[in-house]
Amino acid sequence: MKVLLVNPEFPDTYWSFRHALPFERKCCAFPPLGLLTVSALLPKSWERRLVDLNVRALKSSDIEWADMVFVTGMLVQKDSLHEVVRRCKAMDKRVVLGGPYVTTAIEEAPEADHIFLGEAETTLPQFVADLRSGEAKQRYRAAERPPLATTPVPDFHIADLKRYSSMSVQYSRGCPFNCEFCDIIEIYGRVPRTKSNQQILAELDALLRLGWRGTVFIVDDNFIGNKKNVRKLMPDLVKWQEQNGHPFSLLTEASVNLADDDDLLSDMQRAGFHRVFLGIETPVEESLKEAQKSQNRGNLLESVKKIQGYGMEVMAGFIVGFDNDPEDIFERQIDFIRESAIPLAMVGLLTALPDTQLWRRLKKEGRLLGESSGDNTNCSLNFVPKMDAARLIEGYQSIMRTIYKPSEYYQRVFDSLKRTREQVSVPDRLNIVDGLAAFIRLMVKLGVLDRERKEFWRFFARVVAMHRDTFPASMRLAAMGYHFRKLNEAYGE
């Protein structure tokens, strides 16, 4: 059996990093971990090939080679996913479809021979058995969420690793919290399941054997969702990094209450966590209550500063469009982002994702307009907001124009570096400055060709004079700021 695994294309968004990746000659931020895991669940005797449309085009010869095509995707990839399925069916190929988009889609799913809803650790082996007996079903849904003990080491080797800026592993699924707008708890549940220490270390071993060095993203939507197990993991992870010479700089996502746990923060620092993404959402307490985000309690600015004090650069998500947002929400978001020294502030409009609590509430209230595009940064709304829609969109755009204005952005980078530099014990190994050629490309684009080059050189001089030891991190962040600014300019046209 010849299986083609296809990852649809992501559109150009703030999350794509399209304008930053060329500096390091990479095509995509992360490989499609879901498909690499699916590949590992298939019989070893089957041939498999991966085509990631974010890395290269899907050729007709790729489809001709395959006996069966596996396609997955997120909501934001749906247009590309539909086109991939259409091409494969036009060539009379058996198509197997799964992933978050298909699992939660409200619109009609594309035509496929077999559809998998939910996680596939138990259903995919059943499908293989049914296929052999000639009784493969059209639809498979797991009776319950599987324990991650059944999840194999992903087939990292089928991905062209040199095309990606980071690698991905997954430790847990699910989140204990109850945020109204979140689809993670709908897909993966509110009881976080984790892999064993041995499993996650085996995945790191696999990446090490393949020659990967640099950033590894632990993709959990809330890495500390199961704190008990995370605390047990940390000593083994610290030991692994030390024994292997700290080959990986770790990045993950966590809830803000990470700041309440000094012991865990200390362990994460020792294990090589250099960046963490937080779901801050808003500084407005009434909007946090509306969103049922009880974990964002206390002084959020102090929480951010606390985490930065353990050497971790904080990235964060912010949202505008809550029913309880005041008229000055846009200025308050800007002030918070500025004071928190968060360089990469992912600000988006509230969107109602399919089958979330927010979706169900808005539908009941008659305010739902249709399925979301999956991109909460393109100024589209799929519900009727309480604030005037034009005012909301203009206010959102004003946030983005302000926070990614070079003088504003570089100041936040500089402030972030000041807060984290004393604790950084392992060099930043991001490929953005891995080699002279990448550094030269960065200098030419930002220091010579860019119309904002004066601001770049001011920032460059300050870093060299005062924070030379953080130079790699500062140049990576300069490249990321360029990406956000270019996308913001494109959206503003």
pLDDT digits (tens, 9 = 90+) for 128-147: 999 999 999 999 998 899 99
337-362 pLDDT, tens digit per residue, is 999 999 999 999 999 999 899 999 99
Mean pLDDT of 253-271: 97
| Whole-number Å distance between alpha carbons of 2 and 14 | 36
pLDDT the model gives residue 429: 43
Mean pLDDT of 95-102: 95
Decide if pLDDT at 298 tops 50: yes
pLDDT the model gives residue 427: 41
pLDDT the model gives residue 14: 76
Confidence of residue 60 (pLDDT cuts 50, 70, 90): very high
| Whole-number Å distance between alpha carbons of 245 and 398 | 45
Residue with tokens 């559809």: 115
Residue with tokens 């995919």: 124
Decide if pLDDT at 59 tops 70: yes
Residue with tokens 């797991």: 142
pLDDT the model gives residue 106: 65
Q: pTM, whole model, 2 decimals?
A: 0.94
Mean pLDDT of 330-336: 98
Length of the chain: 493
Residue that wins the pLDDT comparison between 361 and 14: 361
Confidence of residue 426 (pLDDT cuts 50, 70, 90): very low
Distance of CA 43 to the CA centre of its chain: 29
DSSP label at residue 67: S
pLDDT the model gives residue 435: 54
Decide if pLDDT at 173 tops 50: yes
DSSP label at residue 317: E
Confidence of residue 239 (pLDDT cuts 50, 70, 90): very high
In the numeric block, which tokens belong to residue 291? 């969103």
